[in-house]
A and B are shown apart, each in its own frame.
Chain A
Amino acid sequence: MTAIAKVVRTTAFKLAATYFVVFTVFAVVFVGWISRETDRILTQQVQDSIEAEIGVLADEGLSKGLTGIVAAIEQRSRVPGASLYVIADASGNVVAGNVTEVPPALLQRSGIDPVTIPYKRLEGDSTRHLAMVRVLPLPNGLRMLVGRDVSDIERIRVVVAKAMMIGVGLLIALALLSWFFVSRRVLKRIDQVSATSRRIMDGDLSGRLEVTGTGDEFDRLAASLNAMLDRIEALLSGLKDVSDNIAHDLKTPLTRLRTRVEAALAGPERTDEYRAALEATIEDSDQLIRTFNALLMIARIEAGSPDGAMAPLDLAPIVADVAEFYEPVAEEAEVYLALSLEEPLPMLGSRELISQALGNLVDNAIKYVKSGDAKPSPARVQVTARREGSDIVVHVADNGPGIPASERERVLERFVRLEKSRSQPGSGLGLSLVDAVAKLHHGSLSLGDAGPGLVVTLRFPAAS
C-alpha cells in the first residue's frame, strides 16, 4: 500500500498519468469525430445512390410500365456489386428481384426513410448482409424495394473501433514509456541532487552535483547549486578558522588560569601565594571577558543590529577626543602623537562605535610603532582627518616597522596577530572590529605603507 502510494506520489507517475489522460481524451474525441463524419458521409452516399436508382426505375416505369421496371431490375441485378431490388405482392411473395428473403413487415412500410435490414442475396453467398433499403408502393398493390449493401460501412466502423482501441493501447504504452523515460533519465537527476544534498547535509561539504555539460536546465541548476555550495563551504571554513582561533585565544588563557589555580592549590598554604594566584586569575578572566565582548560586539555590528545608534554627527571633535584620550598614553610610551584636523566633518554614524574604532587604531599605532628592530626616533603617530570629495578620510599613520604588503589583508581577519606581535597584549580582534565598524557606516578600512611605517585609512561617506 505504502509502496503504491509512494509510486503515485512521484512526479514521474503524475506526469505519465496526466499525459495518458490528456492524450486519451484527445484521441477518443478525434477518432470519434472522424468515424461519425465518415459514417455520415457514407450513409449519405448510399442514400443518394438509392434515390438515383429509384429515379431511373421510375423513369422506366413511366415509359414502359411495370414490365419495364422488372426488365430494368433484371438487367441491373446482373451487374457485379449491384444494388438490391425486390418487387413483391401485398402478401410478401417476391415477384422479381435479386433478394431471396426480406422481412415481410418491411414491405408494408411506406416510409421514405431508408432503414438498415438484414437480407439474403439471390445468387452467390448465402450469408446475411446489412443493407439500406427504401420501399415504394407500385400500382396493383405491388411494392418495390430498392437498397444498397452497407456491409462496407460496417466494416469501416469496425476498423475505426479497432483503430481507436489500438490507439488507446498505444497511448498507454507511450505513457508508460514516458514515465519510464522521465523517471529514469530526468527525475533520476533530481534524485541525484537530493542524494547529493543529503550527503552534504551529513557533513561531506566537498560533495558537488554532477554537471553533464549538456547545458540543459539541470546543468544550470546544478551549476548554481554548486556555486552556492562553494560559498557555503568558504563561509563554513571561515567559521571553522574563527572557531579554531576562538578555541586558541580563549582556551589558552583558560588553561593558564586553570593551571595557576591548580598550582596554587598544590603549593604551600600561604595566604600571600593564594592572593597572588587569585588576583592573576581575576586578571585572566577579565581578559577572557574582554575577548568575548569584542567577539560579540563584532558579531552584532556585522549583523548590523545597533538600531538607532546612527545619528548625524561631526567627526572632527570625535577624532580630537580620541586623540586627547590617548595622548597621555602616547606620552608615557614616548611616542609623539600628532593631530591634524579639518573642520567640520559631518557624517551619519555612531559616536560610540567610531570612537572605539579610532581608539583601537590609535592604541595599536602607539603599541606597535616601537615593535620593530629599528626604533624610530622620534617614534611618531600621526592622526589626520579630512574631507576628500564626498568622503571623510581618517588616517592613522606611524613610522614603525609597518606590515608587509603580503600580510596586510590577513591582519583584518579575526584573531590574526602577526607572529611578531604575539607578545603584545590584546585580543587580536581590534582590526576586525574596526573593519566591522567601517562596514556598518558604509565605509572602508585599508592598510598601506607610510614609508616607513603603517598607515591605516578609514573612509566614510560624508553627509551632504
Chain B
Amino acid sequence: MRILLVEDDRETAAYLVKALKEAGHVPDHAADGEEGAFLAEANRYDVMVVDRMLPKKDGLTLVSEARAKGNDTPVLILSALGQVDDRVTGLRAGGDDYLAKPYAFSELLARVEVLARRRKPGEAETLLRVGDLELDRLSHTVRRAQTSIPLQPREFRLLEYLMKHAGQVVTRTMLLENVWDYHFDPQTNVIDVHISRLRSKVDKGFSETLVHTVRGAGYMIRDSHR
C-alpha cells in the first residue's frame, strides 16, 4: 500500500523507507511539514506516518489541516513525547494512532498495517471467523469446530481484537492499549501470560494452531490453510 512518511531525521527516514519497501509497501518520503502537506494533497495514500516535530510546519498542524480539507487518510503520529496527555493532544488533532519514540520497526509496521485495514468496509461484521474458530460479537460467544469455548470478558475482548485483525501482526503494546486501555509499560510480560492462557483455551486439543507468536513483533491469529 502507499504510505506517506513525513520525518525530518534523514537516517531514520532512510531506514523506514527501506524497511517499508521490504515489507511490500510503497513509501513516499517528505522531509518537512510543508512538503508533507503538499504530497498529502497531491496523492492518495493508504496511511500517513507523521512525525510530530517537523521543520516548517509541525506534524499536528499538518494533520489537522489535512483533516479540515476533508482528507480522511488514517494517520499514525510519531513523537518523542510519550505521556498520556501528549497522546491525547495528538489524537485530538486528527491522528488515528500515536507511537512514542523510540519504537521498534515491527511496532510501526504492525500499526500501519492495522490502520490501513481499518478503512476497508465490513468492519461492523458481527461474526468474526478464522478457520474453524468463530466469535459472535452480539451474543458474546466463541465456538471452535462447533464446540463452545467459555471465555472471561477480557479474554473475549483479547480474542476479538486478534480476530478483527486476523492475518495481521498485533504487538503487545497494541493489545495493552486496545484491550485493556492501558498506556503504560507493565514491566512484566503480562500480555504474554494472557495470550498463553487464551491459547490454552482456543488452541489446546486442536491439531491446528491459530494463535501464532511473531518473533520480535507480537502475535497473529491466522488460518494457515487459507
Contact = CB atoms under 8 A, between A and B. Distances in A.
Contacts of B187: 290, 360, 363, 425-427, 430
Contacts of A350: 84
B104 A289 contact: no
Contact of A279 (B183, B188, B216): B216
Contact of A355 (B85, B184, B196): B184
B21 interface: no
Contacts of B193: 328-329, 332
B185 A290 contact: yes
A78 B184 CA distance: 123
B149 interface: no
B194 interface: yes
B197 A328 contact: yes
B82 interface: yes
B194 A328 contact: yes
A437 B39 CA distance: 43
Nearest to A285: B102
Contacts of B184: 352, 355-356, 359
A309 B85 contact: yes
Contacts of A282: 104, 216
B38 interface: no
Interface in B128-167: 154
B186 interface: yes
Interface stretch (A28-36, A142-150, A227-235, A319-327): A319-327
Interface string B80-100: 001111000000000000000
Interface residues of B, number: 21
A363 B186 contact: yes
A151 B130 CA distance: 133
A307 B216 contact: no
Contacts of B14: none
Contact of A297 (B83, B102, B188, B196): B83
A325 B85 contact: no
B214 interface: no
Contacts of B104: 282
B84 A306 contact: yes
Contacts of A308: 85
A438 to B, nearest CB: 16
A352 B190 contact: no
Interface string A418-458: 00000001110010000000000000000000000000000
B102 A352 contact: no
A332 B85 CA distance: 34
Interface of B: 82-85, 102, 104, 154, 180, 182-188, 190, 193-194, 196-197, 216
Given A328-B197, A352-B183, 4 more contacts: A300-B83, A321-B180, A324-B154, A326-B190
23 contacts: A290-B185, A293-B185, A296-B83, A306-B83, A306-B84, A307-B85, A309-B85, A324-B154, A325-B182, A326-B188, A328-B194, A328-B196, A328-B197, A329-B188, A332-B193, A356-B184, A359-B182, A359-B184, A359-B186, A360-B187, A363-B186, A363-B188, A427-B187
